[in-house]
Chain A
Amino acid sequence: MRTVTYIQAVTEAMTEEMERDESVFIMGEDVAWNMMGDCTGMVEKFGTERVRNTPISEAGFVGAGAGAAMVGMRPIVHMLIAPFMYVAFDQIVSIISKSTYTYGGQARLPITLRAPMMYGVSNAAQHSDRPYATLMTIPGLKLIAPATPHDAKGMLKAAIRDDNPVITFEDRSLWGQSGEVPDDDLIVPLGQAAVRREGTDVTVVTVAGAITLGLAAAEQLAPEGISVEVIDLRSIVPMDTDTILESVDKTGRLLIADPAHEMGSVASEISAVVAQHGFWSLQAPIARVTTPHCHIPFNADLEKQLLPNVDKIVTEARALME
């Protein structure tokens, strides 16, 4: 075991897969310049052919990734930040999500889109989105949001090896966090949630960076006698609803902490699943701690009040116990 940061784990995952498989390469804006610090050492090792800077042409290079994947490559396409996917939306929806289906299984699209999310750091509305719920409505895409260095490495490697398109939402609030990764090959299967803390009173499901908040809230509630089970969703599509339903069956209470906008969110989807399939386990209404249906302002204080935090989770969890 070694201790690495989330961002180092991401670099290791990409580097190891590129060493292992010639068909894996990364392209995106400024990747060879290591602009985000997540491609350290890669251009030195693999050169600019396989660590490929692109023009600022998201539709062009995302679609090129799709075409390369269709003829046997395994591109990692770096979106720089998640909202830049909007520019490439037609390629993601019409081509990447639909080609395997529309062409009756003739096409395979082993493409990984890395979509780092930065929010809570005063970048205003256009740069601060957490758009996984938007993509969740589109069949044919796998969506993941690893929340630990271990998963960042193991799930990214699984994504690269997957024969289907995978979009990985990396929460930049986690990039600097450290954790253990094994020395040998690490693959974390997609589609499985992880119970990060066991508890008996309230299930808190966290999405992406909300894991930090969920664990802190659980710690804070423990002395009050409120036992919180924290589930890190990890994989948005496919969604491991079994693990959530089992937990709610045990605790009888559900809170979902999701940094994205509330309407039509992952939190909403989990709420619907539990209301439909776990209704008789519930002892209290389902609580969602999310961002309101409102854009992200530049002003730091204005932004901060909108986003989920530990206090909001603690308050809502206490209310569930009343």
Chain B
Amino acid sequence: MDYRYNINSEEKDVRIDASGSSLTATLGEKIFDVEIVPTGESSAILKLNGKSIPVRYIRRNGEIHLMVEGWNFVAKEPMADTGISGGHEADVVDGLQTIVAPMPGQVVKVNVKEGEKVTKKQCLVIVEAMKMENEMNSAVDGTVTAVHVEAGQQVDAMQPLLEVTQSDK
């Protein structure tokens, strides 16, 4: 049986084959002997090639939320992806980087002007949320092509703050 999941925004295909009572999982070119033993309502031991890995999981809204060795993962069917799930990182699409507010807060300072050249890791704007100042840095070298906010302004989560067009490499 084939399963396709979007794991924290990264697509992975897993095939599960049953032969008798044992299962194998195929991921890319890797094949694992696999077994899952429930140990509680939301916990199980995943046996992967004989190694025991405790996992915790819960189903929510058609997604499987997992915790493995301290890391959080959300496994969702690719179709169910809302598009926002990629997180709050500066998204660079076709050479255009849009800096968005990580969460509701207040713009403390805008460090750049439209037309200004910026470098990777340069702090572009500071947004305060939960009493801490969050420095929003550029992920690319480029030129500021739009500034949508000013200092003191309240912003919502995911609200675009400014745009940077990436320099030609």
A joins B in a complex: no
Interface residues of A (CB under 8 A from B): none
